[in-house]
């Protein structure tokens, strides 16, 4: 039995990945930039049983996520990823995977990013595959696009690329570069009607999609420069603009994806009020869900959390700073 356990952080995108040029390879329509999170992570143990799995129909891969055994379709996306790893190592072994998130599934933090990053690194290491971080990034991308960014710590850019090997993430700055925080305001725990995987495929049906993509090069440059200069007053407006542009695309695609809930709008208005009336340096971004990520420097976290607690629609608050890339752990989950 070959076993490996890895912890990988989720990430929050400042310039979003939305829409695919190639749904099989998860090739995006543009670059994206994110921060890997220290305090929202997945721990995954992968064990390979070194025996041919001709009988895999009888004894399929065993996958347990947050204590629940995944069967059928729920397991399929992970089995497909395990198949990629098996093909690389040229083996036909059965896998046992146990994975644990330290954050609630419906908290609006991307568990697919940390999950597929941890699965890729643990799975490859347990197979004895020595892949460079860049190759791991390409492989993680096949599982979930945003997972390619969680292969690196700190501030990360995913290069759009044009094929399987060129569409990879690269580190911009390590986590120590800037003590930026993500304060997640959970306003709804309702399950998503449409997953991001489904959403990427319909992005191009929005008349605004092409305009958003065309607007990104200068916005990406602003975000890169603002991170380099640790300048929240330049970063903030750019991330708000792209989050709203992405949701404009979502709302106007076919089918229309309306992820916002009343609480989402309450938090968006509050953030702008705190900035304008109280001078708080806090800005928002929103992923494919109703919850709002508030981005601020460390010294603003206290005042932001205190104000969020006063809002009727905020059910839970999660805080994370920037974190490292995947880390191998000595302690296994089984
Ligand atoms: O990796 P996916 O397919 O779950 O897509 C992530 C999409 C967003 O979270 C909305 C944006 C992003 O870049 O993380």
Mean pLDDT per 10-residue section of the chain, whose length is 334 residues: 94 98 97 98 96 63 95 92 97 96 79 96 97 98 98 98 98 98 92 80 97 98 98 98 98 96 97 98 96 98 98 96 98 98
Give the range of the structural domain holding residue 308, as residue numbers without chain letter. 180-320
Domain shared by 166 and 298, yes or no: no
Which of 11, 13, 32 should be mutated for ligand 1, with most atoms under 8 A from CB?
13
Domain shared by 162 and 207, yes or no: no
Of 132, 150, 176, the last residue of a domain is 176
- CA-nearest residue, atom 8 of ligand 1: 287
Domain count, the chain: 2
Is residue 4 within 8 Å of residue 328, measured between CB atoms?
yes
Tell whether 84 is covered by a domain.
yes
Task: Locate 247 and state its tokens.
Answer: 């949701």
Tell whether 268 is covered by a domain.
yes
Domain shared by 150 and 115, yes or no: yes
Of 141, 159, 176, the last residue of a domain is 176
Of 176, 191, 211, the last residue of a domain is 176
pLDDT for the residue 269: 98
Tell whether 139 is covered by a domain.
yes
Domain shared by 37 and 100, yes or no: yes
Q: How far is the CA of 15 from the centre of ligand 1 (A)?
A: 10
Domain shared by 279 and 305, yes or no: yes
Contacts of 156 (CB under 8 A, 6+ apart): 11, 33, 34, 35, 36, 149, 169, 170, 171, 172
pLDDT for the residue 276: 98
Atom from ligand 1 closest to the CA of residue 195: 4
Domain shared by 111 and 191, yes or no: no
Tell whether 212 is covered by a domain.
yes
Atom from ligand 1 closest to the CA of residue 246: 10
Domain shared by 215 and 145, yes or no: no
pLDDT for the residue 195: 80
pLDDT for the residue 55: 58
Tell whether 15 is covered by a domain.
yes
pLDDT for the residue 320: 97
Q: Which residue has the tokens 């695919």?
A: 20
Strands (DSSP E) along the chain, which ranges? 2-15, 20-22, 27-28, 32-52, 62-65, 68-69, 93-101, 155-158, 169-173, 180-186, 282-285, 292-297, 316-320, 327-329
CATH of the domain at 152: 3.30.230.10
Tell whether 13 is covered by a domain.
yes
Domain shared by 219 and 282, yes or no: yes
pLDDT for the residue 111: 87
Tell whether 328 is covered by a domain.
no
User: What phi, psi does 320 have (nearest 5°)?
Assistant: -145, 140
Domain shared by 164 and 17, yes or no: yes
Domain shared by 251 and 187, yes or no: yes
- CA-nearest residue, atom 9 of ligand 1: 287
Buried b (16+ CB within 10 A) or exposed e, 33-54: bbbbbbbbbbbbbbbbeeeebe
Domain shared by 55 and 99, yes or no: yes
Domain shared by 42 and 79, yes or no: yes
Tell whether 237 is covered by a domain.
yes
- Name every protein residue with a CB atom under 6 angstroms from any ligand 1 atom: 13, 16-18, 32, 110, 112-113, 144-146, 196-197, 200, 287-288
Which of 8, 13, 16, 17 should be mutated for ligand 1, with most atoms under 8 A from CB?
17
CATH of the domain at 236: 3.30.70.890
């Amino acid at each position: 039995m070959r076993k490996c356990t890895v912890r990988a952080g989720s990430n929050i995108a400042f310039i979003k990945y939305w829409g695919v040029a190639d749904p099989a390879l998860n090739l995006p329509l543009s670059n994206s930039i994110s921060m890997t999170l220290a305090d929202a992570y997945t721990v995954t143990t992968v064990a390979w049983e070194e025996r041919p799995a001709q009988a895999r129909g009888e004894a399929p891969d065993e996958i347990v996520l947050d204590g629940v055994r995944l069967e059928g379709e729920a397991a399929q996306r992970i089995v497909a990823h395990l198949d990629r790893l098996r093909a690389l190592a040229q083996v036909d072994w059965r896998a046992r995977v146990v994975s644990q998130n330290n954050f609630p599934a419906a908290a609006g933090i991307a568990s697919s990013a940390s999950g597929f990053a941890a699965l890729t690194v643990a799975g490859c290491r347990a197979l004895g595959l020595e892949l460079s971080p860049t190759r791991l990034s390409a492989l993680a991308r096949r599982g979930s696009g945003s997972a390619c960014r969680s292969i690196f710590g700190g501030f990360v850019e995913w290069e759009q690329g044009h094929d399987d090997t060129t569409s990879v993430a690269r580190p911009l700055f390590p986590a120590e570069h800037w003590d930026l925080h993500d304060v997640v305001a959970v306003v709804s725990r309702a399950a998503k009607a449409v997953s991001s995987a489904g959403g990427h495929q319909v992005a191009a049906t929005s008349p605004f999609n092409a305009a958003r993509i065309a607007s990104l090069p200068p916005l990406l440059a602003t975000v890169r420069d603002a991170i380099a200069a640790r300048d929240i007053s330049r970063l903030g407006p750019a991330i708000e603009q792209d989050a709203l542009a992405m949701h404009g695309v979502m709302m106007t695609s076919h089918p229309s994806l309306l992820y916002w809930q009343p609480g989402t709008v309450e938090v968006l208005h509050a953030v702008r009020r705190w900035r304008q009336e109280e001078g708080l340096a806090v800005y928002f971004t929103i992923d494919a869900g109703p919850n709002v990520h508030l981005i601020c420097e460390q010294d603003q976290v206290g005042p932001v959390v205190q104000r969020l607690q006063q809002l009727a629609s905020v059910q839970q608050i999660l805080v994370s700073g920037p974190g490292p890339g995947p880390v191998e752990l000595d302690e296994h989950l089984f």
